Chain A
Amino acid sequence: MAEGLSRRSFIKLAATASVAALPGCEPAARKLIPYVVPDDNVIPGVPAFYATVCAECSAGCGVVARVREGRVVKLEGNPVDPISQGALCARGQAALQGLYNPDRLGAPMLRRKDGTLEAVSWDKALGLLDERLQAAAKKGANRVAYFGSRQGPTLDKLARLWLSAWGSNRLIAYEALNDEAERAAAKACFGRTDLPVYRIDQAEALVSFGADFLETWGSPVEYARQYAAFRAPRPLHGGTVVGRSAYVGPRLSMTAAKCDQWVAARPGTEGLVALGVLNVLVNQGWLPHDSGVDLEALRGLVGMYTPAAIAGRCGVEAKAIVRLGELFGQAHSAVALAGTDDPTAHIGALILNTVTGNLGRTVVFTDAGPPPPPTTGRAEVEAQVAAMKAAEVDVVVVAGANPIYAMPASAGVAEALARVPLVVWMGQVPDETAAYAGLLLPIDHPLESWHDVMPRAGNYGLGQPVMQRVFPTMALGDLLIRSARAGGLGPKELPWQDASQAVAASWQELRARYQPSQSADDFWTSVRRHGGLFLQPGTAGVKLDPAVLKTAPNLPEPAELVLAAFAHPFFFDGRGADKPWLQEIPEPVTQVVWNSWAEIHPETARQLGLTGRASQLWLSAEVDVLEIASSQGRVELPVYIAQTVRPGVIAAPLGQGHSAYGRYARGRGANLFQLLPAGALSVAVKARPTGKKQRLVSPLGKSEMMGRALVEAISVEELARGVAPRPEAPEAPEPHEFYAPFKYPVHQWGMTIDVNACTGCSACVAACYAENNVPVVGEEGVERGRIMSWIRIERFFPAQEKAGHAPLLYLMPMLCQQCDHAPCEPVCPVFAAVHTEEGLNGQIYNRCVGTRYCENNCPYKVRRFNWFAPQWPAPLDLQLNPDVTVRGAGVMEKCTFCFQRIRHAEITAKLENRPVRDGEIVPACAQSCPSKAISFGDMNEPQSAMMRRRADHRLRNYAALAELNTRPAITYLRAVYHGKGKA
């Protein structure tokens, strides 16, 4: 954002804008407040777009923020950014709800003696901070600590300088879910301090050792895109090739569900399986001799791990390991990923990639200069906590980390912070750690401040503020600079006035290094416009360190009952739990909302004395509550019984169980970090039923399709033979047209959705919430069947008899099908459900009287009724899209393919005296999709990309519930699976 906008008189057309925030029938705002001095960059009613970066996880996706009247209303991926390439995941979309979160701290707070908080002025707060820092520094060196997280190069630099001003070097960059194991493996194998870049799309086979690369591991948006290309039928080797994939891990995660095979190994034995696969490869002689690896040494390393020898320990059949070996060894190119807390799995995966000659092809180390700095290692964090406990630290600044929540009680952070005289918490929504702070300072959201990220070497993302502050907060960088000044840093050590100057200076260093020929101004304009600097690094030549083949792996002993915690696809390590969209979007596999759960196998359930029946959450179910105890602590969790987890394992998502962190996070589910030893994701546990019951809520009912064809699939063999699968659905009757058919002289909008590419990641769902002002109804609302999402991910398990001849899980986006013969339209008594001239099933909110006949008649269940007036506690309402009506109570609402976007493009085209271009209209769901599963276009235009996609995959075309003769405008493309037999 140009400095001009951010610093000049702020938008004053707030009154106009706030009209949109009011429900339809209330009087509109009656004031018009124009700018005093207008901003050249702002036209009221026309969005401005700013490139910035997403700070929700370390993938560092480039983002484009749509800003209306000075407030950001939507985030979308930055098409220039090589990582996101225009897509953005659900967590990234929901960053808006972090920005506008109603529970954000609105003023500096000082804790009184009695423990209550008192709002103080910024001057007083900062004065107190400096005073205490001065006192600490006077007592000696290293009396001050900075407990941060991964926060980007410039903020890192500022934190270091700030610490040096106070004579300390206690800098902690803490991430609960970090890449420590992965980095250790890369270091051991190749002596590299960076991580490799994966090119899944270049592979024909993939094995993931516990890496949920479509959800939380690494760079999910990027990998989802690559995986879609990997799974797309491609003509190769004179036939049709669809990448084969396998997932090794205890739980059928969304990622596992999108693979061909799920090898349900015991948690912690993924590395052992990798060694077993290596053993198969060595013994079968499937390894090329030119990989530069000493095969004899490798034989020495893995010789004892024959599939038969390890099968029992891993809890899988020896056959399965042999099959993995075949999958990997017989592919022309393959890639192995590892995502567990165990370095052995990572080393095993890296060796696998190396010995099969895939290093440099599907797994690439780049030569792009310095890698992003690592997070602070576990030992170092423990040492710092110990120092605090030993009263060696007087002031701790906690910024961006939540150690009280994310570290086990045994780590002793609570005692340590209690021993520190002044704990200063800096952040947005006060979390568990804030409860231990004496001084709480509200900090700008990343969307309000200058920052930068470096997700990988050669990829620099520039984060610029996209709007003015929502609350009277302060940029973390500004605060550190100001405080460091007070600590005596002069203009020589600290030449910048504020964080924006510091960021700009860092970026000028990048210019000097990479683009010295460009002028400073040009470069600065260019990186702000593009959202960063994206180099195209070459491949670095690396060699496997032979020593790694001589080091005997350290293998954990399997326990009888193990808790396998996994990062929740939306909450990640807990930071997403304060965002209502993320709470309300169902976890794709279990479809549970607003809660956490203990997922166990029916067999395990029986052993624990529970019913062995799979849980059926028809909206909600009373389920047993399990008490789970580890060496670290105990929690209670509702049980979800399903075959999506192997026996002997309790799988449970991280991220819930907050005791603070705002109204949306507090008091939901349990915090699994309390059970896990530091740095581990699985632990031996004991469990017993408590006899209590609890509700688990899910918007979805049946887990099977009951013989109806909602999601269809086709095997690779059928695809190669050119035969469509026998339809599962009942034969469609010969259609009798009662009414004259609709005519669409100009456009007929339609969609093609590739079910094969859809990963179930729900980015589309979050995008729809943001774009269309879809309200959140809360757990009770969902339980009553009142969830409002216009698009959802349908999840079905294949029927028993189809097992092996179907994908592991059917996942498909379901939204209004915009039927040509729409069942909803003729039943509306007031013509609120109308057929538009362009083939959409319109819904006229102001005409709707709420009979709900249309909802009853819709076979797809995509119409949503407002039982109450939706609530957006301020300032969440600032996020509302002014181009879309906010529906009131008693009104039916639904997807109309983002009609506001269609209309905008049509008007623009008309004014430019041209037809609407293909690809000019992109509905929010299609825009956000990381795997580009959704395309939108004109069905009247056979050459549109959307129609060509249908034509190119004729064999995979199907319509959902075609037998009803609704003639949807959405054509789905069947999922592709590898039939059993030839694995």
Chain B
Amino acid sequence: MADPLFKAGDKVRIRDAYPIGHCRTPFYTRGLTGEIERYCGSFANPEELAYRRDGQPAVPLYRVRLPMQKIWPDYTGALLDTLEVEIFEHWLEHDN
């Protein structure tokens, strides 16, 4: 199991990728930038498990916090509002 690459507070970008297989990165979050809320532990890769492989080595999983205004440019709620979503490490890159 690899050490997690990111830590709470890191600015990250969710990859703008569109695989055809099973994955757990919601479409609406792809390509967006946010901040790591926490590292959740490492888990077998669902993109492998779905096809009956073992999903090892386990992949670090994070919760990423995104401001609603960044996800939905015409968001009508409050400026403060946020969304947190679980994203696996191979879907994240540093946002510098």
| Chain A partners chain B | no
Query: Which residues on B are within 8 Å of A, measured CB to CB?
Result: none
